[in-house]
Amino acid sequence: MGAPGVKGKKVTALPNDGLTDLIRSVVSENQDFKEPFYVLDLGVVTSLMEKWTRSLPTVRPFYAVKCNPNPAFLGAMAALGSGFDCASRAEIEAVLSLGVSPDRIVYANPCKAESHIKYAAAIGSKPRMKGARKARLDRSMALSRRKWRRSFKPPNVQTAKLTVSGVSFHVGSATTNFGAYRAAIAAAKTIFEAASRLGLPKMHVLNIGGGFTAAPHFNEASNVVKSALRQYFKNEPGLTVISEPGRFFAESAFTLATNIIGKRVRGELREYWINDGIYGSMNCILTNHATVNAPFGCILYGGNPARRGMRTYRSTVFGPTCDSLDTVLTGHQLPELQGDTAGRSHGADTNKSLQIIMGAPGMKGKKVTALPKDGLTDLIRSVVSENQDFKEPFYVLNLGVVKSLMEKWTRSLPTVRPFYAVKCNTDPAFLGAMAALGSGFDCASRAEIEAVLSLGVSPDRVIFANPCKIESHIKYAAAVGVKLTTFDSMGEIEKIQEFAPLLQAAQSAKLTVSGVSFHVGSATTNFGAYPSAVAAAKTVFDAASELGLPKMRVLNIGGGFTAGPNFDHAANASAFPLATNIFGKRVRGALREYWINDGVYGSMNCILSNVTLNAPFACTSNHGNPTCQGMKTYRSTVCGPTCATTDTVLRCHQLPGLQVNDRLVFPNMGAYTASVGSNFNGFKAARTTHLVYSNPMINE
């Protein structure tokens, strides 16, 4: 209780099966508190540490901070004697802030940023050497792509004047083939023997990595590890064996309580919306193809809060965002639960001059550079040369592209007013430019509405569009004067027979139905969907007239446009190139492997949604040929900066031979990139650092 991160916090004794009562009490104490929250059970953490000590008494755990960096949890782990496996400066700083000494930290990342290495060395952390070569294990051995790492070839280490302390491997997250541990320990023994034959200083550390879970499988896994250690390292006096478990300690210690914000009944099917999802706490569904543990219902009132013994229904559970990917559970049996119901989307003006854009909120006072044709490479080189220590990824916003795309929209669809979908990219300078150009704004949450209003945009240029809205967000939108909102909770648009009940329900709720909204899907290529949806919308207009409702006056044709008049996506995709820094390189014959400081947990999160990135171009310090045009290319793999094996940006892509600190520039990176990125492993998302203006040719 006295551990840093825990000290001063309220800790509640929890009786057996008392979690439901605790959650009910938390909510009942504050009726307006409807945010998702975690409950951390310190008793579970303590029990798991005891279980680890009993099962693997000779293996010291170094908790993998990336798994869950909650300060109270880290503080508890520190108090229980754990070491810490950190993958970045931010994670090291988080652990040190709890009073943990540097000798309890191992700096473990397959490719480390130079500035992070300097920091770790300065504070006295121990870097873990991960190998120049990797040996693959069978793909079935763990949940994601399986690799385990040998140490550097001894001659390379000698040349670099590094002391090799031992061998590290990782069989993969949540593996169920425990023979992988035995095979890896046997291989590690071979490396120990090779080092001895070469006359290197005696190695004394064996790191068996992670991959453990707290499930019943742990006993089997620990028995395999103990048996293999006895077999291969029985005669290694002074050997220290460590491990890097993450999931084992963190998974079952945390319970997530979410609030149902919406509900829809379709016959025997129940559909619920909750206020957390795959772009929040359940990102593991997307990144690791994880299956969420079965949830239980917890109602606030009545004698059966957990709904035990009650009839269940086939149910789908969605997260709170507007993304169709945000589906948490499908076809899951749940009891009848209650929640609020809600809605979906609408459309701005035309052409303003560059001077008006410059004076827009979010842009005023910022430096804007004129960019000649093909001048992006020179700009990026100048940015880097002005500050040699600046190696963060950054965006360049081309205001000329934004202006040209607005002009194109106006020419192509002069009768359709665009309402920019803020979720696509929330950069303040970009929003300010869009506001100056007369755009309206499609907002899906209170935070997005606040961001737009802070730029001086009037509420009548905002539409609150989300399939399922949170009650407090609805109240806020009404309070600030947002008059347009969408709703689609009665079923799919093609089921015309449902529209009459929907309109009647709106009438009885004393709502003014302004029109019809639809969305055919993101980046659709089936353009016949638009006339079909417009025809269906006309049927709804006719039904409203037959019911005697006030005349409807708005038709929202949604988004989904491709490279022609694609406002939501292409308008800012092409306006934002992303410049990344190469901070690691490895050569394997004809293959080149590079590590850059942004990836799928940052700006390139769209890869997890099966989006293919545009081919990057190189920007080097080669003054005669900075973009490497005409140079020999190699089959290349590009990885992001985190420790996750899923963080692979490009595979088998042809790139010229590049060096550490060269830049890889990815064009068209404005849409659904920075707005959905995270700070996983302590790597911060890229920022827009430079505004430029050019006169691009936009294809008709």
User: Of 298, 424, 443, 643, which residue is the catalytic one?
Assistant: 643
Cα–Cα distances in Å, from 666 out to 16, 395, 450, 604? 53, 10, 30, 10
User: Taking phi first (over 0 means left), then psi (-120 to 50 degrees means alpha), and beta for anything else, what does residue 225 get?
Assistant: alpha
Strand locations in 41-198 (E): 59-64, 83-86, 105-107, 126-127, 134-136, 147-149, 166-168
Place of tokens 């169920």: 176
CA distance 480 to 276: 25
Residue 507, classed as helix, strand or coil, is: helix
CA distance 28 to 50: 35
Question: With 0-12 CB in 10 A as exposed, 13-18 as middle and 19+ as buried, what is 153?
Answer: middle
CA distance 678 to 286: 13
User: Taking phi first (over 0 means left), then psi (-120 to 50 degrees means alpha), and beta for anything else, what does residue 641 get?
Assistant: alpha
Place of tokens 């290349």: 636
CA distance 102 to 84: 9
Residue 252 burial (CB count, 10 A): 17
CB 173 within 8 A of CB 143: yes
CA distance 521 to 299: 35
One-letter amino acid for residue 598 of the chain: D
Sign of CA dihedral 557, 560, 566, 568: positive
CA distance 304 to 309: 9
For residue 685, give the nearest of 424, 394, 398 by alpha carbon. Answer: 394
Could you tell me which residues are beta bridge partners of residue 687? 394
284 is catalytic: no
CB 271 within 8 A of CB 264: yes
Q: Which residues of 587-610 are buried (b: 16+ CB within 10 A; e: fewer)?
A: eeeeebbbbbbbbbbbbbbbbbee
Residues 6 or more apart whose CB falls under 8 angstroms from that of 93 comprise: none
CB 79 within 8 A of CB 73: no
Helices (H), 149-239: 154-159, 179-197, 217-232
Strands 462-464 and 484-485: parallel
CA distance 215 to 212: 9
Cα–Cα distances in Å, from 461 out to 135, 347, 451, 464? 57, 9, 13, 10
Which helix (H) or strand (E) segment is 420 a member of?
strand 419-421
- Here the tokens at position 435 are 């506001």
Helices (H), 215-331: 217-232, 247-250, 284-287
SS3 content of the chain, % helix, strand, coil (to 5): 30, 20, 50
- Here the tokens at position 81 are 């004697």
Catalytic residues: 643
